[in-house]
Amino acid sequence: MANLYKQVASASKWSTIAEISSRAITPVSLILLARVLTPEDYGVVSVATIVVSFTQMISDLGFQNALIQKDYDEKKLSKAASVGFLANMFVAIILYVLIFVLAGPLSLLFGIPESVMVIRIMAIQIILNSLNSIQTGLIQRALNFKILFYIRLTTTLIPALVSIPLAYTGISYWALVAGALFGSLANTVVVWIRSPWKPRLFWELKLFKEMIGFSLFNMAETFALWLAAWADQIVVGAVMTASALGLYRTSTNLVNVLVNLLLSAILPVLFSTLSRLQSDEAAFRSFFQNANKIICMIAFPLGIGFLFFGETVAAIVFGSKWNGAGDIIRIWGFVSAISLVYGVNGIGYRAKGKPQLNVIVICTNMCILLPAIIISAPYGLLTFVAVRSIVKLLQAPAHFYYGKKYLAISFVQTIQNLRWIFAASGLMAAGYVVYVWLIPYDTMMAQIVGALFCCVFYFIGLIPERTFIRKTINLFLGRNQSAES
């Protein structure tokens, strides 16, 4: 067990470094590109991104998660990986042909005919993704996030290095297309170079059926997650303009990049570790609650910061051409951060071998989401964002119910685990009110000082958690191999 926690500490460190490095590149790239490109440019590319993300989800067949979760020995794992690789490639080629043929009707569905060639070219990513999905899953299974750090850094840096110079040459949205395609190509090349496993021509129908049996539920969960993530953009693209789609997608994407900075770093480690601990209820519950506390400890003040300083963030990142981005950042940023109270429950269900639970929650929520966003779309983008955010929070009761039943973590235990984070967040909000009351708040410098003032109040509120914070830092740095927190 001590060795596992040592692996977790190392994996968490490299995963976090990878995410911080790659996510730091994204806002910088966005700032530079937003000064040259328009919301319309992002809207055209968003149509292709929606299509490609859907087909990539199908082409993976859920085998990556199956390889991480299944307790195979090395010999069977290698065979299963080869079976998964061949299946992914076959499906990816078929899907690419379909997308190439249907690109015209799909562009008309969104009312953006200029996106036809963009869809066809960006769909090449489907095949590239199928070439590296299995290897990536095996690296995650081994908790070898040092390799993933180099992969992630390279494949995040390349799109920025390609897109930014091309955008300044005046080729508009094609700069984003080129960046995305070269990024996927770089990802595949680096994974093949760094992965110790290489595919071979091997097929076993029995093994395929065994994997697909687990993967079907994971695919259902992935599809539900995809629909929950993209349904709003599909509606905006179909009902509103390309400019509205670009404004909505880019603003919410900025929020997601920042809110998910820690979440994306810890999720692969969390799933891999919880899968290994699934038979030890006490260790499973302890690790899950500690991970949730770390995530919320950073996400909550970030969400409050979005609520109070959304306009400032929009002005710094987007500039004057992106009117309305600040309000979207305020609403979506706050709700996205608060929802992380239950945001990692789906990982726990999957690690327990019950991915269908997350599917049930998401599908139930979708029954409310779809009519809500369709009805609200004609009333304007801001009303749409508010409705979308409220529906997102309605998943909470179901997650708390399943969390108690299958993860042995009740609502009361969750609140108790996070009680000082809630208190510190309230103190931070109070600090903001006091600052605005005392200090003129009409300059950028005043807002920056206000943000620092709020952070001081938040850290004061976290004093009761100082022991947990110290032990977490020590574990992250490899100074503590204990499971205790």
* Domains of the chain, residue spans: 2-417
User: What pLDDT is stored for residue 210 in this prediction?
Assistant: 76
User: What pLDDT is stored for residue 8 in this prediction?
Assistant: 55
Nearest to 148 by CA among 9, 6, 15: 15
Nearest to 161 by CA among 365, 25, 12: 25
Would you say 399 and 357 are in contact if contact means Cβ atoms under 8 Å apart?
no
User: What pLDDT is stored for residue 69 in this prediction?
Assistant: 67
In terms of Cβ atoms closer than 10 Å to its own Cβ (0-12, 13-18, 19+), residue 110 is buried
Report the C-alpha gap between 347 and 406 in whole angstroms. 12
Residue recorded with tokens 């749409």? 384
User: What pLDDT is stored for residue 343 in this prediction?
Assistant: 80
Characterise 215 by phi-psi region: left (phi > 0), alpha (psi -120 to 50), beta (else): alpha
User: What pLDDT is stored for residue 197 in this prediction?
Assistant: 85
Angle at 154 between CA 150 and CA 160, to 5 degrees: 150
Report the C-alpha gap between 435 and 374 in whole angstroms. 40
Nearest to 59 by CA among 184, 246, 152: 184
Q: How far is CA 454 from CA 94, 312, 425, 448, 458, in A?
A: 53, 15, 9, 10, 6
User: What pLDDT is stored for residue 220 in this prediction?
Assistant: 72
What the block records as the tokens of 26 is 């994204």
User: What pLDDT is stored for residue 202 in this prediction?
Assistant: 85
Q: Element (H or E) spanning 78, and its range?
A: helix 74-109
In terms of Cβ atoms closer than 10 Å to its own Cβ (0-12, 13-18, 19+), residue 478 is exposed
Per-residue pLDDT of the chain (485 residues; tens, 9 = 90+): 545 555 555 555 555 665 666 666 777 888 888 888 888 999 999 989 998 888 877 777 777 777 776 667 778 888 888 888 888 899 899 999 999 999 999 888 888 888 999 999 999 999 998 888 888 888 877 766 667 777 777 777 888 899 999 999 989 999 999 999 999 999 888 888 888 888 888 888 887 887 776 666 667 767 777 888 889 999 998 888 888 999 999 999 889 888 776 666 666 677 777 877 888 888 888 889 988 898 899 889 999 999 998 888 888 888 777 888 999 999 999 999 999 898 888 888 888 888 788 888 888 999 999 999 999 999 999 999 999 999 999 999 999 999 999 988 999 999 999 999 999 999 999 988 888 888 776 677 787 888 888 899 999 999 999 998 888 777 666 654 443 43
Would you say 457 and 431 are in contact if contact means Cβ atoms under 8 Å apart?
yes
Question: b/e map of 311-336 (b: 16 or more CB within 10 Å)?
Answer: ebbbbebbeeebebbbbbbbbbbbbb
pTM: 0.75
> Taking every pair of C-alpha atoms in the chain, what is the biggest distance, in angstroms?
71
